[in-house]
Amino acid sequence: MTSTIDPERIRTLGNGEPDPGARFVLYWMQASQRAEHNPALEFAVQRANETGCPLVVVMVVMPDDPDASVRHLAFAVGGMQRTVRALSRRGIRSCVRVGAPADIVAELAADAVELVVDRGYLRHQRAWYRELPRRVPLRITQVEGDVVVPIDLVSDEVEYAARTIRPKIERHLDRFLVDLHTTAIEDRTTPEGTTSDVDLDTMDGASSIAEWLVDLGVPSDPGPVDGFTPGTSAARSTLRRLLERLDTYHEDRNRFADPDSTSSLSPYLHFGQISPVAVATAVRRRGGEGADAFIDELVVRRELAMNFVARHPEYDSYSALPAWARESLDEHRDDEREHVYTAAELEAGRTHDEIWNEAMRRVREEGWIHNQLRMYWGKQIVRWTNTPEHAHRTLLRLNNRHFLDGRDPNSYANVGWCFGLHDQGFAERDVIGKLRPFTTAALDRKDDIDEWRER
Ligand SMILES: Cc1cc2nc3c(=O)[nH]c(=O)nc-3n(C[C@H](O)[C@H](O)[C@H](O)COP(=O)(O)OP(=O)(O)OC[C@H]3O[C@@H](n4cnc5c(N)ncnc54)[C@H](O)[C@@H]3O)c2cc1C
């Protein structure tokens, strides 16, 4: 166990002296929504103990979170509910507020000694970290806890593919796959002026989190999904199930008809409800081919996506796709399409392809499908739309609107992958040019399609 947080995880965003009456250390818990294996939280506890103050952890429910609906926010708030309880068991005060994060954090920070934040990589998250130092004249420390290897240490350029980033990540694994020691908070008092806008146990009398969110103006469609219980305990159980069958992960991971062939950890990772370091450390301890294959997905592939969104200013645009892919798609722009569907027809799952329609139905209703099905689902949209630009916009929108793990760096990188990102050219075909094809026959080779449909 180590209580030190690697200095590469820590950046100073701002410097300034607190007002003489400042009363607490403030941690804005945003990307790392958990009370354990959270280096930003442990750093904030240590700073509170060093300054002789209590700690306040603020979590913000943002009704206009970009692209979010009740599907996403009910899961996020369900996780917060459990994190508030877990923090309370550690004697740490939390404060849940509703509104615009930077306003809320700046207001609370007026009474704080210093501010600690965690780190996300999407455009709106980066904008917060740029804005806060202008509004909060305090020492502001950012602690990066949702990647294994801090992204600035890995690479300052847009990486070409998994094979180029892999050695840059792997050389640091021993250093960053370490346990994080929990520090006890010393001052357990509750500072004035830090009450929550809502008691998450009673939800202002609403019958459910979803109802409460809709009352706040969060879009009700798509609605919540049943398949995933939010929170760190559920994430830990999901990890335990993975560890039981880890030895065969490398052989089974493409078997899309088997719901247990992969971990199903992606929603928990997306909302920061489990630490990728804790997952990778537990997996690595087991060792073996299954563990190696899993770490390649969790660390190399996932952190390649972080690299893409952090380093490419237009990560959500068609223009971010590799030049060879855009050129090839351009050459096939006027090819006759066998089928062309509107975005609405695609979303409703009204195509000639029953397998695709069934995948789309599950995306709509369950908010999650297996990786092989995501590949099939995404690749067909490229073939069935009028222009590649429209295909890219449509796929990204459907992905982020419906997947519980959508709106993630992985969303942008993997939608991009359907258009050649992080991939190589293949033999030229109509419409898709040199993009990697993914046919029904290819899907059929991975697993039994009928078995999947019956399930
Ligand atoms: C068209 C398309 C869209 C996708 N959209 C998303 C999305 O919105 N959000 C999302 O998290 N993933 C997305 N993926 C990547 C991948 O399909 C999911 O991460 C994975 O299926 C999640 O299931 P799991 O947790 O059981 O994965 P496991 O196989 O158990 O892998 C463990 C973890 O490794 C990471 N991982 C696995 N595969 C990939 C990959 N190809 N790229 C990056 N990281 C990976 C994920 O964090 C995953 O939770 C998409 C893939 C495609 C082809």
Homologous superfamily of 318-454: DNA Cyclobutane Dipyrimidine Photolyase, subunit A, domain 3 (1.10.579.10)
What's the pLDDT at 455? 80
Query: 4 C-alpha to center of ligand 1: Å?
Result: 31
Looking at residue 3, what is its pLDDT?
54
pLDDT in tens, 396-418: 999 999 999 999 999 999 999 99
Distances (CA, A) of 66 to 100, 124, 213, 379: 12, 8, 15, 25
Lowest mean pLDDT among 14-28, 90-104, 193-207, 429-443: 193-207
Quick check: 346 and 398 in contact, CB under 8 A? yes
Task: Provide mean pLDDT across the span 27-34.
Answer: 98
Average pLDDT score over residue span 236-247: 98
Rounded-to-integer distance, Cα 323 and Cα 439, Å: 24
Element (H, E) at 58: strand 55-61
Please give the order of strands across the beta sheet that includes 55-61. Answer: 10-14, 139-143, 112-117, 24-28, 55-61, 93-98
For the CA of 263, the closest atom of ligand 1 is 30
Give the C-alpha separation, 232 to 33, whole Å: 9
Give the amino acid at 260: D
Range list of H helices, 4-122: 39-51, 70-89, 101-109
319-323 mean pLDDT: 98
Average of per-residue pLDDT across 118-128 = 97
Shortest-distance Cα residue to atom 20 of ligand 1: 371
Residue type, 441: A
- CA of 24 from ligand 1 middle (Å) equals 39
- pLDDT higher than threshold 50 for residue 1: no
Closest CA to 118 of 27, 245, 187: 27
Beta bridge partners of 27: 57, 116
How is the chain split into domains, by residue range?
A: 318-454
Task: Give the pair of three-digit tokens for residue 159.
Answer: 């990486």
Nearest to 66 by CA among 400, 392, 393, 404: 400
Residue 410 Cα to ligand 1 midpoint, Å, equals 7
Matching residue, tokens 């050129």: 327
Ligand 1 surroundings by CB, under 6 angstroms: 253, 262-266, 269-270, 297-298, 301-302, 305, 371, 374-375, 378, 399, 403, 405-406, 408, 410-411, 414-415, 417-418
Is residue 230's pLDDT more than 70?
yes
What mean pLDDT comes out for the span 242-259?
96
pLDDT of amino acid 438: 96
Phi, psi of 415 (to 5 degrees): -65, -40
Pairing relation of β-strands 139-143 and 112-117? parallel
**Dist. CA 148–CA 174, nearest whole Å:** 10
pLDDT in tens, 126-173: 999 999 999 999 999 999 999 999 999 999 999 999 999 999 999 999
Pocket test for ligand 1, best of 251, 414, 447 (most atoms within 8 A of CB): 414
Query: According to the model, what pLDDT value does residue 426 have?
Result: 98
Probe residue for ligand 1, chosen from 249, 252, 266 as the CB with the greatest number of ligand atoms within 8 Å: 266
Residue whose CA is at the smallest distance from ligand 1 atom 48: 266
CA dihedral over 152, 303, 311, 270, signed as positive or negative: negative
Could you tell which of 72, 251, 297, 315 is best to mutate to test the pocket of ligand 1, judged by most ligand atoms within 8 Å of the CB? 297
* Dist. CA 266 → ligand 1 center (Å): 6
Strand partners, 98: 61
Across-strand partners of 11?
A: 142
412 alpha carbon – ligand 1 mean position (Å): 11
